[in-house]
């Protein structure tokens, strides 16, 4: 039974639609979520949903992009020349690690893995909107650090891919698979500190290793 639509300004409608889509995607899965169900949950018409998002796929991509944006430190913070490179890398790494291990981040990863064989396009969207976007954010930051002489990196995209791989480390897959116990906040911070130390050992010297392992 449909719920009576609400009168909302465009920006509020946009947010309500995305919020409802995220809730349904993570609860019912991508294929079992319909645009009708999203409209009912957001209490808007289906025409309104299509006016803001042309397809369910677009909604999913927006969900992943918003998740990454929510946990990415402000550009002004990362551009602070007075902060040590280790502190900046820690801020960046902790933000992304918290995103990867957040309830929404883990649910999205499980959703994609669960539907990968039936709906491979979903995996590609997740990879393009999430992993590649995250990698590019890290690469752009590393290029700034190179210009400031804080790092010595031959290929920023490659280095970014290894930074993300180190962040996932031993915790991410375990959490995706619901293997307990999950790390505490202190353990997460200690893990990111270790990642920064390893990354600096690889790329912080005058003679860095040359890698070509972009994701």
Which residue range forms the structural domain that includes residue 44? 10-54
**Cα within 13 Å of Cα(208), Cβ side:** 22
Are 176 and 72 contained in the same domain?
A: yes
Query: What is the Cα Rg of the chain in Å?
Result: 20
Are 147 and 185 contained in the same domain?
A: yes
C-alpha 47 chain-centroid distance = 29
- Residue 208: inside a domain: no
- How large is the average pLDDT for residues 195-209? 82
Q: Please tell me the pTM assigned to this model.
A: 0.79
Q: Which tens digit of pLDDT belongs to each residue from 20-67?
A: 988 898 888 888 899 999 999 999 999 999 998 888 888 888 888 888
Q: What is the CATH number of the domain that holds 154?
A: 1.10.357.10
Are 70 and 43 contained in the same domain?
A: no
Are 114 and 164 contained in the same domain?
A: yes
Are 134 and 109 contained in the same domain?
A: yes
Are 48 and 66 contained in the same domain?
A: no
Are 43 and 89 contained in the same domain?
A: no
Are 50 and 67 contained in the same domain?
A: no
Q: Which tens digit of pLDDT belongs to each residue from 129-167?
A: 888 888 988 999 999 888 888 888 889 999 999 999 999
Are 15 and 105 contained in the same domain?
A: no
pLDDT band at 189 (very low <50, low <70, confident <90, very high): very high
Are 121 and 166 contained in the same domain?
A: yes
Distances, alpha carbon 62 to alpha carbons 117, 122, 125, in Å: 22, 13, 10
Q: What is the CATH number of the domain that holds 33?
A: 1.10.10.60
pLDDT band at 76 (very low <50, low <70, confident <90, very high): low
Are 19 and 106 contained in the same domain?
A: no
Are 37 and 73 contained in the same domain?
A: no
pLDDT of 74 > 80? The answer is no
- Residue 75: inside a domain: yes
Our count of domains for the chain comes to 2
- Residue 209: inside a domain: no
- The pLDDT of residue 175 is 95
Distance (Å, whole) CA 65 – CA 168: 19
């Amino acid at each position: 039974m449909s719920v009576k639509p609400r009168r909302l300004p465009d920006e509020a409608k946009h947010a309500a639609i995305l919020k409802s889509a995220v809730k349904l995607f993570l609860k019912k899965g991508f294929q079992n979520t319909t645009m009708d169900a999203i409209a009912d949950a957001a209490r808007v018409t289906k025409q309104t949903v299509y006016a803001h998002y042309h397809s369910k796929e677009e909604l999913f991509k927006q969900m992943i992009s918003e998740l990454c944006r929510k946990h990415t430190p402000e550009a002004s913070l990362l551009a602070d020349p007075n902060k040590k490179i280790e502190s900046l890398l820690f801020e960046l790494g902790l933000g992304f690690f918290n995103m990867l291990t957040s309830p929404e981040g883990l649910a999205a990863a499980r959703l994609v893995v669960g539907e990968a064989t039936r709906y491979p396009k979903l995996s590609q969207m997740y990879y393009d909107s999430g992993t590649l976007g995250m990698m590019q954010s890290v690469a752009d930051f590393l290029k700034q650090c190179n210009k400031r002489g804080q790092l010595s990196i031959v290929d920023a995209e490659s280095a970014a891919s290894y930074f993300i791989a180190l962040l996932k480390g031993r915790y991410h897959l375990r959490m995706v698979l619901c293997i307990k116990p999950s790390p505490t906040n202190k353990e997460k911070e200690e893990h990111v500190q270790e990642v920064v130390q390893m990354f600096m050992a690889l790329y912080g010297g005058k003679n860095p290793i040359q890698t070509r392992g972009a994701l």
